[in-house]
Each structure stands twice: as C-alpha cells, then as structure tokens.
Amino acid sequence: MSSSAPPEVRVWVNGALVGADQPAVAALDHGVTVGDGAFETCKVEDGQVFAATRHAERLDRTLAGLGLPAADHAYIAEGIKAVLGAGEPLPFGRLRYSVTGGAGPLGSDRDSSPLTYIVTAGPQPRPPASAGVAVVPWVRNERSAVAGLKTTSYAENVVALAHAKQRGAIEALLANTRDELCEGTGSNVFVVRDGVLWTPPLESGCLAGVTRALTVEWCRADGLEVREEPMPLSVLEECDEVLLTSSTKDVLPVDRVVGLPGGTGERVLEPGPVGARAREVFGRQSALHLDP
C-alpha cells in the first residue's frame, strides 16, 4: 500500500515521535469519532515558530469554549521541540498541534479520559504574489455554539474549499446568516474602500485570526485606517481591493473573485497600494518580532 502522508511530515503523539503513517491515535478518540478537539496552525520560518504565544492563548480560548480541560502547554512545547528538531530546520513550514477530548464513547457524550496531544510539522510552499477566491453558497452561523472557535470539526471547510478549488481559486469566502462578509475556510478577509482597510468584526462569526489581529494592530500603528465593522457580502462587487490573512499566507492580495452574489460571476482585481502597504508593514514587523 502506498503512503498517504508526505514522508517529510514529522509527527509527535502523546510524548513520542511516530511515523507519519504509523497508527498512533485510538480509534475511539473523540477527535476522530466526533471532531471534539482544538488545534492551532503556526508559521515556521528558519526553524522558528512565529507568534507562538498568541496561538497558545487562542488554543486555550477554544478549549474553554468547548468545555474541555486546559491544555498542558509545557507538554505541547515538548512536542514542538521534538518535531522541529527531528530533521533539518524548516526554511518555511507549517506547525500544527491538536488537543482532543481523548478516548470517548461513540456518541457525543464525553467521559473523563485524558486529553490527546498531537504535534506535526512539515514544509509549506510560500504563498503566491496574489491569488483568486470563490464565494461559496454556504454560510457561517454566527450564533453557533462553536462560532469563532478553532475546532477539529472541519468538514464544512473541506467542502467549501473543494468547491473553490474546482473554480480555480485558492480559498473560499463565506457570508454569515445575515448575508454579511465573514471569512474564508482558513483565513480572514479584508477589503479596501476609499483608502481604508475594512475587516468583519469578530461578532460576524469569523475566527479571531492571529494574522488578522497583527495586521490590524501593525497597520494602525503605521498610520493606516482600519475599521472592524459589518459589511454586506456584496461589498466584494464594489470594493477597491481584497486581501486574505492567515498564518501561512501572511497578507495576500486577491486578484480574482468568482461566484459573486450579484450575478456578475467573476471580478478581476488589480492588487492595489493599500494592500501592498499592509503587506509591507506585516512583513517588516514580523521580521522584527518573532513572538509579538
């Protein structure tokens, strides 16, 4: 049987390095049976993790929102050290760590099993200069019990991203139930109107992205006006620029939007000056501050 995981991915589970295809998680782990868990994805530059503290804090917020016990961050740090030290330093890569509810029943009930810890790392292609996005026909529920939490229940995102990639896009964009612009499957979204950066507020149901927060903070400190306010999904039809932010994309200009709500189908965009400035600010500040 051929390997289903890239051999360069390094894996640590509950205290031990294991092969990427080696069985290491129990079949009845609640993260497997019902997606009961939290995770974080961090950028790795030259073997070092970017914004590690902010990611750890968000993991705590997700676990608390799920009603799971607090994570053992010293234990996670052991896993991070193990996977990053298991080979040559990654010039650019993705670190992901997950904490699940541990072994549980076949249904949604929980028992008192210890948490399961999984840490992985591997190389990641650097983001392109710009990319296309697709508006998908599904919505984020801003009133969901897990709205704004980074849980391992990601099937909704898998479906949306596959829909976008079938249309030649790198990411899907979703509205919320109020038909407001919300987020991507693994990214936050900004638009530019009249020289101002706008991004949906956390109340829209979007994830509190680490890169999103740093973009807002650093751009404001650099003199750019940034507003966190609700916007109709139709803003994508008339805004001047669109940007994505995520841990492995940093600040990424959007050059094409497909599936627009007004029936116009596709809109081609030229990456503009505000996005270029936001990207430069983020690149400059992130080079200066490893753990901002």
pLDDT value of position 194: 95
Task: Please list the ranges in the chain whose pLDDT falls under 70.
Answer: 1-7, 262-264
Best CA proximity match to 91, nearest among 119, 124, 50: 124
pLDDT value of position 112: 83
Best CA proximity match to 198, nearest among 274, 281, 267, 129: 274
| CATH of the domain spanning 131-288, picked from 3.90.226.10, 3.30.429.10, 2.60.40.1930, 3.20.10.10 | 3.20.10.10
Task: Measure CA of the first residue to CA of the last residue in the chain; give whole Å.
Answer: 44
pLDDT value of position 264: 62
The CATH class for the domain spanning 10-123 reads alpha beta
Indicate whether this model's pTM tops 0.85. Answer: yes
pLDDT value of position 3: 47
Domain map (residue ranges) of the chain: 10-123, 131-288
Q: Tell me the C-alpha distance between 181 and 135, whole Å.
A: 10
pLDDT value of position 109: 87
Best CA proximity match to 160, nearest among 149, 173, 147, 148: 173
